[in-house]
């Protein structure tokens, strides 16, 4: 009886082992399938919103556009067909990628528009001058550090969803005739311009007292949160807060009034941030000082880390 019992036991154990292996294989397949599912449900952007997004970003034939979660490809295709813009879209869903490629072929823009099945978080965005997206708030927030590290001046346009405390440089609301397959609704469009990194101490000299005047040394200390910049200026031992500070991409401007030894003088500066330099112009106006000057500032403290997240 013992040998027969052993045979039965081996058969039971074999069945159990086969069942466990099959269950493990099933779990692996389910996990893999879930990993391949899109993180964002596919909802096409209404064409009128597409047109507004491109308009707000001032997209032209000189731009390179990357659409994250490109769906049927309508943003990239529209930009290529109507504006001559080159670019590509990425989507994790192969069905959407095939559809986008077909739409590009129908529009005759396959020489300008391409589409790839790719994880948007693994996509190289460095060549983009414009990024478009219609994702979800949590995905926007996950992307935000990567977007902030793009080349200053890069424009980012999002349909419907913001990036929390990174406030947009421009915002628009519009009513669309059909949304989410229903009869109309409101759409929001957000535009950001990636700001240059300006924190630190900047120094320059200006010979602002007329011919033969000794140049004065100015020191401005800047702090930055996204595109919001604050700071103070020091000149001839006097300090003053900066006023009307504006940073849009690489373009910066600010003003202040300080007594540089000849009475209060209003200073207005405009320039372009180029790494650790700012190149632009200065306008000075006071009772004894008037004029336009070239402005060349250099970052004295190598501190380009802003208060925004990285």
Q: In the CATH hierarchy, which fold is given to the domain comprising 200-299?
A: Lipocalin (2.40.128)
In tens digits, what is the pLDDT along the chain, a chain of 310 residues? Answer: 444 434 444 444 444 444 434 443 433 433 433 344 446 778 899 999 999 999 999 999 999 999 999 999 999 999 999 999 999 999 999 999 999 999 999 999 999 999 999 999 999 999 999 999 999 999 999 999 999 999 999 999 999 999 999 999 999 999 998 766 666 789 999 999 999 999 999 999 988 666 667 889 999 999 999 999 999 999 988 999 999 999 999 999 999 999 877 789 999 999 999 999 999 999 999 887 788 999 999 998 544 444 454 4
The predicted-structure confidence for 170-202, as pLDDT tens digits, reads as follows 999 999 987 666 667 899 999 999 999 999 999
Its pTM stands at 0.83
Q: Whole-angstrom Cα distance, residue 51 to residue 6? A: 75
Give the pLDDT confidence of 199-214 residue by residue, as tens digits: 999 999 988 666 667 8
Percent of the chain with pLDDT over 70: 80
* CATH code for the structural domain at 47-193: 3.40.50.150
The burial of 228, by beta-carbon neighbours within 10 Å (0-12 exposed, 13-18 middle, 19 or more buried), is given as middle
């Amino acid at each position: 009886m013992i040998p027969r019992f052993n045979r039965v036991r081996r058969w039971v154990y074999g069945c159990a082992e086969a069942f466990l292996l099959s269950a493990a294989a099933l779990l692996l397949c389910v996990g893999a399938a879930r990993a391949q599912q899109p993180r964002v449900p596919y909802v096409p952007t209404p064409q009128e919103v597409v047109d507004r997004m491109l308009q707000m970003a001032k997209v032209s034939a000189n731009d390179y556009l990357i659409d994250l979660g490109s769906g049927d490809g309508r943003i990239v295709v529209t930009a290529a067909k109507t504006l001559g813009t080159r670019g590509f879209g990425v989507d994790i869903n192969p069905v959407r990628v095939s559809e986008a490629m077909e739409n590009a072929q129908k529009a005759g823009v396959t020489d300008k528009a391409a589409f790839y099945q790719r994880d948007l978080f693994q996509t190289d965005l460095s060549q983009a001058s414009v990024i478009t997206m219609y994702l979800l708030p949590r995905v926007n927030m996950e992307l935000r550090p990567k977007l902030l590290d793009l080349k200053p001046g890069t424009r980012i346009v999002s349909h419907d969803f913001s990036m929390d405390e990174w406030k947009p440089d421009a915002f628009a609301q519009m009513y669309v005739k059909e949304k989410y397959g229903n009869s109309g609704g409101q759409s929001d469009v957000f535009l950001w311009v990636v700001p240059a990194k300006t924190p630190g101490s900047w120094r320059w000299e200006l010979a602002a007292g007329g011919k033969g005047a000794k140049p004065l040394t100015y020191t401005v200390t800047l702090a930055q949160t996204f595109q919001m910049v604050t700071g103070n200026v020091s000149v001839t031992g006097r300090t003053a807060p900066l006023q009307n500070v504006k940073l849009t991409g690489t373009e910066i401007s600010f003003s202040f009034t300080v007594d540089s030894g000849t009475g209060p003088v209003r200073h207005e500066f405009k320039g372009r941030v180029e790494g650790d330099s700012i190149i632009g112009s200065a306008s000075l106006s006071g009772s004894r000082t008037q004029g336009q000057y070239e402005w060349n500032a250099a970052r004295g403290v190598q501190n380009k880390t802003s208060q925004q997240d990285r």
